Amino acid sequence: MKKENTSNAPLVAVDLFAGAGGFSLAAILAGFSIDFAVENEKFAIQSYKNNICKLPGGKETVVFEKSIMEYDPSKIREERFCNRSCDLLLGGPPCQGFSTHRILDAGVNDPRNELVLAYFDFVKALTPRIFLMENVPGIMWDRHKSYLSKFYEEGRKAGYRLFPPAVLNARDFGVPQRRKRVFILGLRKDVDSKDFVWPPEPTHYAPQKSRDGMAPWLTCAHVFDSAPANDSTDIHMNHGPKLVEAFKNTPINGGSRRDSRRVLRCHEKHDGHKDVYGRIDPSMPAPTMTTACINPSKGRFVHPTEHHGITVRQAARIQTFPDNFTFVGGLTAAGRQIGNAVPVELGKFLIKYIKTNLIDRVPDQVSLGALAHLNEQEVELA
């Protein structure tokens, strides 16, 4: 029988589809150590090692560097969790197949969607007390219902209580960014969840609706303060004269493609993508940092006052990475790592909330072997 962690023992987490380590860093800041992470993108792997593996909660972390599909979760369990349990399993399967930027039926039966079920193979093998999966809201579209339903079905069979998908906006939890993501929380059935509420209530509100004792949304103004000296990530794209002229035409602290007077052939066919070449308004939370967040032609990613796109450091600050966190691979690779990450402060808040209300409350007294004897409960999607 595996030894269950108590409130006095170090808490152990695992991070799948770890990217550069946003979720791992959040877990470490919330009081966990990372036993192992799985990631197969070479630049993200190096960024993870350069940052997470140098922290107290990450120095013993093993990074598995192949596709998650190439690993046998049972063998990893035998190697890594032979005499102890996993407290928390994290991870956000690649979300491109579910993205709102996909049109018509794009993403239906996308092979990448199978990664969602691969994630759950690790849940079944490691039997963590708690798992938390992150993805884009598009995962809840009808066209992806079969995958989400399968995820919940497998959870029930494995002895987990799954809460309905929770769509959370990062700006409501102290992140200076408008970013909606889905979080699915699963609890092993022996976890005491009496009176537990999921999702947590927002901590921040629109200024005009701010409640007593609650903070207003954080603006992104501080993001554009000077970067630390010799910061290798304080870099932005180099733009040609025509693009710089378009930025000069765009009003300070706002504006859009129409203001820039830059019209491409694709713009002649339709009037969409109005945010491209738009400036970020520092008086508000920033727009969602996508994987192309350093490219002004892909969204509202122009500096509020200067005539260029935002820097890697500015994008990282919007995702609440600390200024000593660095990214490997150049501009495009760094933007991809930043855009794919869970905002660090949002992840930290959610994991601390889970830790306080589920793990710290009462030591888990039910052994893993008893799970098979627990009554199965039906899980309904919201």
Q: What band does 114 get if pLDDT is binned at 50, 70 and 90?
A: confident
pLDDT the model gives residue 360: 93
Segment 254-263, tens digit of pLDDT: 776 565 555 5
Q: Are 358 and 191 spatial neighbours (Cβ–Cβ below 8 Å)?
A: yes
Residue 285: alpha-carbon gap to chain centroid: 17
Catalytic residues: 95
Is the Cβ–Cβ distance between 304 and 253 less than 8 Å?
yes
Question: What is the chain's mean pLDDT, rounded?
Answer: 86
pLDDT tens digits, one per residue of 13-39? 999 999 999 999 999 999 999 999 999
DSSP line for 254-299: ---HHHHT---HHHHH----TTTTPBP-TTSPBPP--TTTT-GGGS
Reply yes or no on whether the pLDDT at 303 is more than 50: yes
Q: Which long-range contacts (CB under 8 A, 24 or more apart) does 140-146 make?
A: 140/165, 140/167, 140/182, 141/98, 143/105, 143/107, 143/108, 144/97, 144/98, 144/107, 144/108, 144/113
- pTM score, whole prediction: 0.88
What is the C-alpha separation between 123 and 130, in angstroms, rounded? 9
Identify the structural domains of the chain with CATH numbers, from first to last. 11-213+341-371 (3.40.50.150), 221-328 (no CATH)
What percent of the chain has pLDDT above 70?
81
